[in-house]
Amino acid sequence: MNTEQHQAGHPPCRSQGGPGREETAEERADRLWSEMLQEVRGCQTGAQILFGFLLSVAFTPRFASLGGFDKSL
């Protein structure tokens, strides 16, 4: 971004991300950060469900009859 243009009263530079999308670098960074947080939230939910399932397996009657390899797996 040219600081002379910014100081002269011109709006900050906007990049074309695609048809109909004009956003500043900060707006793009904010959007990408928001998308990343949504992905992490989705992964967190999946990890919690998987952890709950694996934890419940250890308390089933059949788990006691498994061999050493299967228990450690």
Q: What is the mean pLDDT of each run of 10 residues along the chain (73 residues)?
A: 50 59 90 94 93 86 79 72
The answer to the question of residue 3 being in a domain is: no
Domain of 55, in residue numbers: 11-72
Q: Name the 3-class secondary structure at 13.
A: coil
Query: What is the pLDDT at residue 28?
Result: 93
Q: What is the pLDDT of residue 9?
A: 56
pLDDT for position 50: 94
pLDDT at 40: 94
Only one residue has tokens 């011109």, namely 10
* CA 26 to each of CA 1, 14, 44, 51, 62: distance values in angstroms, whole numbers, following the listed order: 12, 10, 27, 37, 55
Q: Is residue 20 part of a domain?
A: yes
What confidence score (pLDDT) does residue 16 get?
A: 54
51 domain-assigned: yes
Task: Examine residue 4 and state whether it is found in any structural domain, yes or no.
Answer: no
**Spatial separation of the C-alpha atoms in residues 67 and 73, rounded to whole Å:** 10
User: Structural domain tally of the chain?
Assistant: 1
